């Protein structure tokens, strides 16, 4: 696979070179057996996490979160300890540290933010009043200091030692395809694999619907974007099937947060597809796939034994967002409009009358209009279902009352209340803890130590304990403070910008960028967890490795598993 002048993936060619940011020598000078061993360790870890981990569920859904975390923690600690030993022990024997640090001297902005986050997490732990929970994390979630450090180390080792091959990435996508197919079947009350503790709230081998959707937001984004940027027919054939299956899984999995990810896909692809005709056609093809996926989800209802779990309805008997998307006949009209536009563009191109890059300004205006229309439709659906509404708020200054657009605390299954609780918790902190936080995964410890918030949450959630704000940004702000939040946001923001800038020269960076954006937006209504956050740090590491390889001009992307026209 290669990056050619038009920014398309093909096979057999070396990735073009780029000047190193630090002007330092290439990694090949570090060379030797220790690099090969480290690479072997990281590739074995990737195989376990990508292929085995999603299906690992001894005991079914009973304590599945606990079991998954312990598996991830143990495998990660053993792997990272082995990799660190391979790097450090030879230096101790040779009494020469230069060849060790040389690989980490050329630092990107993302590297610096990751180092900063690692340091702040440690500082936050030292300043925490809840040392036990800060170390390992809240029971059932375990996003404490140890886990956060594992995430950062995963990023660094993948960014230095991962072998960027589509054979390996293909294994991940193939495994996630199996996860998605199981999720689709379970959503329709079909259970190919019997799991203890089975109920509507659990699907596939991942457990809770929110956990499934978190995993889906990363894996599906990578496969869908790979279809868009690949030039190989074999790659597009596989990722085409994968894209449809992942779209059906996203539509049917029961959580409305999936539609935030679909909107992200639409926005990013509509902008990037203005590069050239081929990219624009791929974008139209993916849009048609989505329309067909909606109807596929609808048609599955008519199969014998298929009964959909999550066809819920909003206030006053009005259908929810999910029911609207896949039951509306407008989806068929959308498909036919897209197909007609696709055929028309192809015909005009053959006559030399259609080059999208020559009229990019016009297509940009049209694209913005379409995106604005979609966003407006979503907004009106939210208004219609009383997620957003206007209410009268008492005024204490000059007027009796005024109208404001208000988020009800009940919206999103109580997310309005959890967000507000997180914000109020941060406001109540002293200066030190506003900077470094109350400790990794200590959100619940701190919130329930504030009598007013504890009483409010007790009245709203009764016997349930709030462990995070169901918004990763707010939760991070409370746990590791403003400094930790800035470093964490810097990791994702700097990586996204750098991967987009380099995407034309190395198109495999585009899937990494879409994963970052999809994960970030999805987690505006969700949280870190052991089935999604490790994968996004792996993707961050893969993207960083591609950037480093481009800087050296010495590596190539092997795509033997998918290459060929």
- Kindly report, residue by residue over 1-34, the tens digit of the pLDDT: 444 444 445 433 333 333 333 333 344 434 467 7
**Model confidence pLDDT, tens digit, residues 292-310:** 998 888 888 888 888 887 6
For residue 456, being part of any structural domain is answered with no
For residue 412, being part of any structural domain is answered with no
pLDDT value of position 155? 95
CA 540/CA 454 separation, integer angstroms? 37
What is the C-alpha end-to-end distance of the chain, expressed in Å? 12
Between residues 277 and 176, which one has the greater pLDDT? Answer: 176
Between residues 519 and 259, which one has the greater pLDDT? Answer: 519
**Model confidence pLDDT, tens digit, residues 197-245:** 888 888 889 988 889 999 999 999 999 999 998 888 889 999 999 999 9
CB < 8 Å & 24+ apart, contacts of 371-377? 371/266, 371/267, 371/270, 374/263, 374/266, 375/263
* Range with lowest mean pLDDT among 150-154, 425-429, 455-459: 455-459
Structural domain including 299 reads 2-389+463-552
pLDDT value of position 104? 61
Return the number of other C-beta atoms located less than 10 Å from residue 151's C-beta.
23
For residue 33, being part of any structural domain is answered with yes
CA distances for 43 relative to 158, 441, 557, angstroms: 9, 29, 15
For the segment 312-320, the average pLDDT, to the nearest whole number, is: 46
Residue 121's closest CA among 357, 367, 440?
A: 440
Hey, what are 422's tokens? 């997180």
For residue 84, being part of any structural domain is answered with yes
Is 19 exposed, middle or buried, given 0-12, 13-18 or 19+ CB atoms closer than 10 A?
A: exposed
For the segment 246-250, the average pLDDT, to the nearest whole number, is: 93
CA 212/CA 534 separation, integer angstroms? 14
For residue 522, being part of any structural domain is answered with yes
For residue 416, being part of any structural domain is answered with no
Place of tokens 């996630």: 176
Cβ within 8 Å of residue 134, ≥6 positions away: 124, 125, 128, 144, 145, 439, 440, 441, 442
For residue 360, being part of any structural domain is answered with yes
Coil, strand or helix at 463: coil
CA 502/CA 550 separation, integer angstroms? 9
* pTM of the model as a whole: 0.85
Could you tell me the pLDDT band of residue 408, with boundaries at 50, 70 and 90? low
The count of domains in the chain is 1
For residue 506, being part of any structural domain is answered with yes
């Amino acid at each position: 696979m290669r990056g050619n002048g038009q920014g398309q993936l093909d096979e057999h060619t070396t990735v073009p070179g780029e000047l190193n940011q630090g002007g330092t020598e290439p990694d090949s000078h570090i060379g030797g057996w220790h690099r090969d061993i480290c690479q072997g360790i990281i590739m074995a870890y990737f195989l376990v996490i990508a292929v085995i981990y999603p299906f690992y569920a001894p005991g079914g859904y009973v304590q599945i979160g606990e079991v998954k975390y312990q598996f991830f923690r143990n495998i990660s600690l053993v792997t990272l300890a082995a990799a660190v030993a391979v790097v450090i022990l030879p230096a101790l024997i040779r009494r020469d540290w230069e060849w060790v640090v040389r690989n980490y001297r050329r630092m990107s902005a993302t590297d610096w933010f990751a180092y900063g986050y690692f340091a702040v997490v440690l500082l936050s732990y030292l300043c925490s009043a809840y040392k036990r929970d800060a170390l390992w994390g809240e029971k059932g979630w375990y996003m404490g200091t140890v886990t956060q450090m594992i995430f950062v180390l995963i990023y660094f080792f993948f960014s230095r030692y991962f072998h960027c091959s589509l054979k390996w990435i293909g294994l991940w996508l193939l495994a996630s395809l199996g996860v998605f197919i199981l999720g689709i079947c379970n959503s329709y009350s079909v259970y190919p694999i019997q799991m203890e503790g089975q109920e509507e709230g659990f699907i596939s081998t991942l457990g809770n619907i929110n956990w499934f959707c978190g995993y889906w937001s990363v894996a599906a984004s990578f496969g869908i974007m790979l279809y868009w940027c690949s030039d190989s027919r074999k790659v597009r054939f596989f990722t085409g099937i994968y894209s449809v299956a992942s779209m059906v899984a996203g539509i049917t999995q029961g959580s409305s947060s999936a539609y935030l990810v679909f909107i992200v896909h639409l926005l990013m692809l509509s902008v990037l597809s203005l590069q050239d005709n081929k990219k624009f056609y791929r974008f139209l093809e993916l849009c048609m796939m989505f329309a067909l996926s909606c109807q596929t989800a609808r048609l599955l209802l008519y199969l014998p034994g298929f009964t959909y779990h999550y066809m819920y309805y909003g206030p006053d008997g009005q259908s929810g967002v999910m029911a609207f998307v896949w039951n509306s006949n407008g989806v068929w009209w959308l498909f036919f409009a897209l197909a007609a536009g696709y055929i028309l563009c192809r015909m005009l191109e053959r006559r030399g009358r259609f080059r999208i890059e020559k009229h990019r300004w016009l297509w940009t205006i049209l694209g913005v209009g379409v995106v604005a229309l979609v966003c407006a439709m979503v907004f009106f659906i939210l208004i219609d279902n009383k997620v957003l509404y206007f209410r009268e708020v008492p005024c204490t200054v000059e007027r009796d009352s005024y109208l404001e657009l208000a988020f009800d605390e009940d919206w999103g299954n109580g997310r309005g209340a959890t967000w507000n609780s997180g914000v109020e918790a941060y406001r109540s902190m002293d200066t030190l803890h506003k900077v470094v936080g109350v400790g990794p995964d200590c959100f619940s410890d701190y919130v329930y130590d504030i009598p007013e918030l504890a009483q409010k949450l007790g009245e709203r959630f009764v016997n349930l304990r709030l462990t995070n704000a169901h918004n990763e940004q707010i939760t991070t702000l409370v746990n590791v403070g403003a400094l930790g939040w800035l470093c964490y946001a810097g990791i994702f923001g700097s990586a996204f910008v750098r991967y987009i800038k380099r995407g034309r020269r190395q198109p495999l960076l585009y899937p990494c960028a879409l994963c970052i954006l999809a994960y970030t937006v999805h987690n505006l209504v969700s949280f870190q967890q052991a089935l999604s956050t490790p994968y996004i740090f792996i993707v961050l590491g893969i993207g960083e490795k591609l950037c480093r390889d481009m800087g050296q001009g010495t590596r190539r992307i092997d795509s033997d598993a998918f290459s060929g026209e």
